Amino acid sequence: MADTPRTVLITGASRGIGKAAARRLAAAGHRIGINYRTHGDEAEDLKKEITSAGGTAFTVQADVGDKDQVKAMIDATIEALGPIEIMVNNAGIIDDTLFMRMKDDQFERVMQVNTFGTYYCSRAVIAPMVSARWGRIINVTSVVGLRGNAGQVNYSASKGAIHTFTYSLAKEVARRNVTVNAVAPGYVETATVNDLKDSVKEQVMGRIFANRFGQPDEIAAAIAFIASEDAAYINGEVLRVDGGLAI
């Protein structure tokens, strides 16, 4: 039996993992809120793709690191699609450098978007989910939040914080049939990874037991499963999808 159609909001959905998740969840019959910050044309193209296939989609611009913009995004999505039942916190940024060279604004901005953005979006949707006694919060993190990575102290810290955020919030809302989980990708073929130098790619590949980078749709498949009724008993989990990188 197919899942009940739900309203989904995916942050950072115009490209990469977010875009793949939007396609997957739209194909499952859900109404999709497509958040973007700067890639508006790509967000609109995705909306047209979903609606042309018979689905329902809505685009909304917001910087998730700004709580006022998050509120406006949530309000606009609810007005267009109805109460948000599945929140996918996918938007994130990197600003890598060695710790001794890192400037305050590099650390603060990565934490603001990645960690505070997850907090702002989750806070905005959690009360209605609890009242409705159904909800999914799915946080897209990273394996570096589990094991750290040289040159990514800020990014690793931001993702590690989301993991413990996930565990704690899951305990608070589990009795109301709301689940809070995270998907932790490894290296995935997105614009960010494709821009890496070949020497860096070779070094990373040597640590991936699957001997390849992941595909956005493989991460999206995990997100779609956690969003489904089949995953109702999975809560407070950080699911690695990394080809064995973090073993």
CATH number at residue 48: 3.40.50.720
Q: Which SS3 state, helix, strand or coil, does residue 206 take?
A: coil
User: 91 lies in a domain?
Assistant: yes
User: 2 lies in a domain?
Assistant: no
pLDDT for 35-72, tens place per residue? Answer: 999 999 999 999 999 999 999 999 999 999 999 999 99
* pLDDT value for 202: 87
Sign of CA dihedral 195, 197, 198, 203: negative
Range of the domain at 21: 7-240
Q: Is 155 a catalytic residue?
A: yes
Please name every residue paired with 87 in a beta bridge, in sequence order, or none if there are none. Answer: 9, 137
User: 245 lies in a domain?
Assistant: no
Window from 1-15, 152-166, 192-206 with minimum mean pLDDT: 192-206
> 1 pLDDT band (50/70/90 cuts)?
low
Q: How many CA atoms lie within 13 A of 93 on its CB side?
A: 18
Name which residue leads in pLDDT, 48 or 200: 48
Please name every residue paired with 89 in a beta bridge, in sequence order, or none if there are none. Answer: 139
pLDDT for 103-155, tens place per residue? Answer: 999 999 999 999 999 999 999 999 999 999 999 999 999 999 999 999 999 99
* pLDDT value for 241: 97
User: 229 lies in a domain?
Assistant: yes
User: 1 lies in a domain?
Assistant: no
In degrees and rounded to multiples of 5, residue 60 shows phi and psi of -150, 130
pLDDT for 160-185, tens place per residue? Answer: 999 999 999 999 999 999 999 999 99
Average pLDDT, the chain: 96
Its pTM stands at 0.96
Q: Decide if pLDDT at 7 tops 60.
A: yes
Question: What gap in Å lies between CA 29 and CA 2, rounded to an integer?
Answer: 9
Which one is catalytic: 120, 155, 167, 233? Answer: 155
- Of 159, 191, 29, 13, the residue nearest 87 (C-alpha): 13
User: 81 lies in a domain?
Assistant: yes
User: 217 lies in a domain?
Assistant: yes
* pLDDT value for 221: 98
Window from 6-20, 184-198, 222-236 with minimum mean pLDDT: 184-198
- State the pairing for strand pair 31-36/135-140: unpaired
Q: In the chain, how many domains are there? A: 1
Those residues whose C-beta lies under 8 Å from the C-beta of residue 21, and which sit 6 or more positions away, are 10, 13, 88, 90, 219, 220, 223, 224
User: 194 lies in a domain?
Assistant: yes
- Structure tokens belonging to residue 45: 């193209």
* pLDDT value for 198: 82
> 200 pLDDT band (50/70/90 cuts)?
confident
10 Å CB burial of residue 43 (0-12, 13-18, 19+) is buried
